Structure 1
Amino acid sequence: MARRNLLVCFDAFGTLFHPKFPVAEQYATVARQCGLDGFSTEDVQASFKKAFSAESKAHPNYGKASGMGAPRWWTNVITKTFQPLAGNGVDLPKDLAPKLLHRFASGEGYALSPGVASLLRSLKQSVPAPSHPQIPPIVGVITNSDDRVPSILTSLGLRVHPLRFGSNTSPDTDTNPNTPQQEQHASAYDIDLHCMSYDVGFAKPDRRIFDAAEGMADQLAAAAASAASTRGGGGGVVLPWLKVYVGDEYGKDVVGARGAGWNAILIDHGGSGEGKEGGELEWLGDGPLEEVFPLDGPPRAVRSGSVQGVLTWLGKEVRRGKGERYGM
C-alpha cells in the first residue's frame, strides 16, 4: 500500500464550534444590556437577516473588496439590524456594536464542540517514528468566513498556528521554544493552517478555496521534510496527500470538496440523514482508512453523526498506521 501524508481540514461554524445559544437571541440579550428594548428575538432575527443580505449585496466578502474590513462591515449589519427596531431618530447605544463584535470574535459567543480539543490534540501528537521521518497529520480549517475564526478558536483553548492564506507567516514558525525540534510540527499546534473565504476571495463550493489550502499544506510538508533532512533523518521527500474535508453542509462541503479532488465526511447532526441532501451517503463506520478512502479511484464521501466520531476514527487509524501508512 502506497504511503500518503494525511491532510484533514474542517469547516468552522457548525462543525468545530457553534453559538452558545442562537445568534438572534444573543443579539437581543446584548442590546437589552445596553438599554435598548421593545422588540422580540423574532424581530431581531428577521431584521438581522434583512441587514445581512443587504450588506452582503452592497459590500461582498465582508467588505474586504470595498476596503472597509470585517469589523466595519459587521458594525453596519448591527446598525441596520437595530435601527429599524429602535425607530428613526433614535440613537443606538454606543457600546452595542463593540460588545457584539467582541462577543462573536471570541469564546463569549461560541462553544467548542465537546471533546474536540482533546481529540484534535491526540491526533496531532502522533509523532513519526525516526525511521519514517514524514510529517504527522496536517490539520486545517477551510471556511466561508471573515477573519475572526483564528481568534475564536484560540479563545476556545486551541493552539492555533498563525499561518493563514495570504499572510507572511513562515510555514515552519514555532512559537513554543520548549517543544523538541523533532516534535514541533506534531505538538506545537492543534490547527496548522487557516483558509478563509475572506482571505482567498472565493467561497465553498468553489474549488479554489480547497486548492489554496492544499498549497499551504504543501508549504508545511516541504518545510517539515527539509527539517528532517537537515537533522540527518533521511526525509526530504514529500509524500502525496490523502485529503479529507469535514463539514456539515452537503452543497458547500461535500460537493465542493469532491469537486476539488478531496474526500469528504458530512457531519449529519442528529444522525438520520433522511430527507436531506447527502442522505444517500454511507455511514463512516470503523473501517480502515485506506479502504474508506482508497488511493485509486475518484474522491469518496461518507457521513458521520458527529465531528467527535470522525476525530476518534482518524486518531485510531493514524495510531494503527504509525510507521507504515500515511506518513506515519
Structure 2
Amino acid sequence: MLKLRLLTWDVKDTLVRLRAAGGVGRRQPVGESYAAEAWAHGLRVQPEALSQSFRAAYGAQSRRFPNYGRGCGLSSQQWWVDVVKQTFRLSGVHEDGVLTLMAEKLYHDFCNARNWEVLPGASETLSWCCQHGFRMGVVSNFDNRLENVLSQCNLRHHFEFILTSENAGFAKPDRRIFEKALRLGGVPAEQAAHVGDDYTRDYRAARAVGMHSFLLQAARQGEEPEVPPEHILPTLGHLLALIEKG
C-alpha cells in the first residue's frame, strides 16, 4: 500500500464538468450557455458557431496573456470579459453595449452550479479519502472563482486548500505550483499523489516533482505513453483499489 498522506486534485473534467444550458446535451456546453445569453438579448447565434469562436478567442487570449492575465496587468475578470466579447464578435455580434452586458453576465454565471455538474463518483470518492485520513487539496489551472464553484457544487468542504494558477502565479505543468501545494500540505513529495485527467499538466507534471500521480481516463480516447496500468483510473471509484494495491 502506498504511504500517502496528501492527495491533490485537478477539478475541471476530473471532479466537475461544464453543463450545457438547460441541460441540452453536453457536446457544446459553452456554446449552449452563450447562445442562451444571446437569445435573452434577442440575438440568434448557433451554439456550434459560438463554441468554435470560443476556442479561437480563448486560445488567442491565453497566448497573449497567459494564466488569466496574471502578471500582465489584467484581472481575471477582465481577461474573461475580453474572451467572451471576442467570442461573440467572431460569431457576428458587434454592438458594444450588448457585448458588455452579456460578457459580465456570463462571467458571473459560470460561478453558478447551474453551469457545472459533479462527475459520477466524485463526491463518494472524496468522502472516502477524507474518512481514511488523507489530507486533501486542489491544484487547478483556474481563476479565483474556483472556490465558489466548489462551494456551489458541495465539494469545497473536502479540501484543506484550494490552489489555483491565478493565485499561485504559475500554471500546470510548471513545477512551482506543485511545490507550493506540497508546502501547503506539509508533506514531502513521496507522500503525496495528484489526481487529474491531463497527461502533461497533471500526470507527468506531478511526477516530475517526485509525487505519485493517477490519470483519469474515463472519457479519453486511446492510451497515453509511459503510463503503467496501475496509474490509470477508468473511473474515480477505482482510486481506492489502486492506492491499496500500490
Q: TM-score, normalised by structure 2?
A: 0.85
1:249 aligns with 2:198: yes
Question: Which blocks of at least 5 consecutive residues in structure 1 are unaligned?
Answer: 127-135, 161-188, 222-238, 285-301, 321-328
* 1:60 shift after superposition: 2.3
Q: Aligned with 1:92: secondary structure?
A: helix
* 1:59 shift after superposition: 2.5
* 1:303 shift after superposition: 0.4
1:208 aligns with 2:176: yes
* 1:191 shift after superposition: 1.0
1:142 aligns with 2:91: no
Q: Is the 8 A contact 1:15 1:113 kept in 2?
A: yes
Q: Is the 8 A contact 1:34 1:93 kept in 2?
A: no
1:78 aligns with 2:84: yes
Rounded to whole Å, the distance in 2 between the matches of 1:281 and 1:5 is 20
Matching residue within 47, 50, 55 for 1:44: 50
Q: Is the 8 A contact 2:141 2:165 kept in 1?
A: yes
* 1:25 shift after superposition: 2.1
Give the share of equivalent positions with the same residue, in percent.
30
Q: Deviations over 1:214-254 (max 9, x none)?
A: 00011xx7xxxxxxxxxxxxxxxxx8852111111111111
Which residue is 1:157 aligned to?
Answer: 154
Rounded to whole Å, the distance in 2 between the matches of 1:303 and 1:257 is 14
1:232-243 aligned within 5 A:
242-243=191-192
Which residue is 1:32 aligned to?
Answer: 39
Q: TM-score, normalised by structure 1?
A: 0.65
Q: Is the 8 A contact 2:10 2:195 kept in 1?
A: yes
Q: Is the 8 A contact 2:189 2:210 kept in 1?
A: no
Q: Is the 8 A contact 1:4 1:240 kept in 2?
A: no
Q: Is the 8 A contact 1:7 1:217 kept in 2?
A: yes
Question: Which blocks of at least 5 consecutive residues in structure 2 are unaligned?
Answer: 21-28
Which residue is 2:214 aligned to?
Answer: 265
Which residue is 1:13 aligned to?
Answer: 12
Aligned residue identity for 1:15: T
Which residue is 2:224 aligned to?
Answer: 277
Per the alignment, do residues 66 and 313 of structure 1 end up closer, same or farther by CA in structure 2, a change over 3 Å counting?
A: same
Q: Aligned with 1:264: secondary structure?
A: strand
Matching residue within 55, 62, 65 for 1:59: 65
Aligned residue identity for 1:146: D
Per the alignment, do residues 17 and 64 of structure 1 end up closer, same or farther by CA in structure 2, a change over 3 Å counting?
A: same
Aligned residue identity for 2:241: W
The CA RMSD over aligned residues, in Å, is 2.6
Q: Aligned with 1:108: secondary structure?
A: helix
Per the alignment, do residues 40 and 209 of structure 1 end up closer, same or farther by CA in structure 2, a change over 3 Å counting?
A: same
